[in-house]
Amino acid sequence: MTLKVSDIGEKELINYILSKSNHIIPDDCAISKFSNFDLISTCDMLIQSKHFPKNMSYFQMGFKAVTVNVSDLASMGASPLGFLLAIGLPKDLEYDSFKEIISGVLNACKYYNIPLIGGDTNESSEIIICGTALGLNDKPLMKDTYNDGDLICLSGSIGLAALGFNLDGDNIYTDKALNPKARLKEGIIIKKAGATSSTDITDGLASELYGMKKDDFGFMIYEDKLEISDEFKKIASNLNLDYLDLVLHVGEDFELVFTMDKNISLDIDYIVIGEVNKSGKVEITLSNGDVKEMDKRGYNHYVS
């Protein structure tokens, strides 16, 4: 049997690339020495049929393409430097639609104070937007530099976008799905305050925690601390969806999950959801008191 990339999955494909390179750091961004700073760089590709909900406007597509890249800078506490845009377009796409995409990109660049500095265009069978974001930092936050006993925190509520993908109309859930925002300011604040590690939640909390895990360290998360509203649970139930699955395994919230010492105080809103331990497992304590090991599953770009 011949293996296909869809049999392997995105995470393992990335692991293969990492195993063949001596220069790539297995974190949210690349880090290169630049004068007295670290140059932080990242790139993300968004494909219309995979990453843009059917009810997402062209403007929102352009804005999201910047957001997903800036979110990686945020996870390291980096200040934005510049944004590069490569875009593939169907030849029959209306010119006005192209201008809407670019308007979204430029509005996002203004929102995050990151200038558009270059890029490329080409023809493709569907809209493909690949962005590259550059930032500057000194001693960037990494994924796995936490300590035993550190608190595990979120920059905001998660699961809203996951529910929003299943809804229509104008509400907080569809707004989160269609108009995601990177936590750039929060990333810089938590880095300066002394947070010990950080990553952004794109593929689901469980998947990101497994991506942060090292050696014999583990994480304990508490369902009751995730601030899942009764309304959220009711809507999910009406749609025959598992509310906890939406919160843990879908992603696209672009919130930060970060760790910090118990004695650190932050001048931002955040949620404490658990703590780092030496269990070697990624676990959750459910509302009924049961403890279960989290499924590693997250969003897979190679699964239809």
User: Above pLDDT 90, what percent of the chain?
Assistant: 82
Q: What is the DSSP letter of 258?
A: E
pLDDT at residue 26, as a whole number: 53
Residue 6 has pLDDT above 80, yes or no: no
Return mean pLDDT, the chain. Answer: 92
Residue 108 has pLDDT above 60, yes or no: yes
User: Above pLDDT 70, what percent of the chain?
Assistant: 90
* Tokens of residue 123, six digits: 């023809």
Q: Mean pLDDT across the stretch 172-199?
A: 97
pLDDT at residue 301, as a whole number: 44
Residue 12 has pLDDT above 80, yes or no: no
DSSP string, 189-242: HHHHHT--EEEE-SS-HHHHHHHH--TT-EEEEEGGGS---HHHHHHHHHTT--
Distances from the Cα of 147 to the Cαs of 27, 74, 251, 257, in angstroms?
A: 18, 21, 25, 15
Fold match flag (5-137 vs 151-293): no
Residue 110 has pLDDT above 80, yes or no: yes
pLDDT at residue 62, as a whole number: 98
CA-to-CA distance for 281 and 213, rounded, in angstroms?
Answer: 9
Each residue of 87-107: pLDDT tens digit? 999 999 999 999 999 999 999
Helix (H) or strand (E) holding 85: strand 79-89
pLDDT at residue 304, as a whole number: 40
Q: Mean pLDDT across the stretch 7-17?
A: 65
Q: Mean pLDDT across the stretch 66-73?
A: 97
pLDDT at residue 13, as a whole number: 64
List the chain domain ranges.
5-137, 151-293
Neighbours of 99 (CB within 10 A): 13
pLDDT at residue 32, as a whole number: 86
Residue 302 has pLDDT above 50, yes or no: no
pLDDT at residue 29, as a whole number: 79
Q: Mean pLDDT across the stretch 63-78?
A: 97
Each residue of 254-274: pLDDT tens digit? 999 999 999 998 999 999 999
pLDDT at residue 127, as a whole number: 97
pTM, two decimal places: 0.90
Give the architecture-level CATH label for domain 151-293.
Answer: Alpha-Beta Complex (3.90)
* SS3 assignment, position 304: coil
CA-to-CA distance for 34 and 70, rounded, in angstroms?
Answer: 19
Distances from the Cα of 252 to the Cαs of 14, 52, 87, 177, 222, in angstroms?
A: 19, 11, 21, 7, 21
Q: Mean pLDDT across the stretch 205-219?
A: 96
Fold (topology level) of 5-137: 60s Ribosomal Protein L30; Chain: A; (3.30.1330)
Q: Mean pLDDT across the stretch 15-20?
A: 66
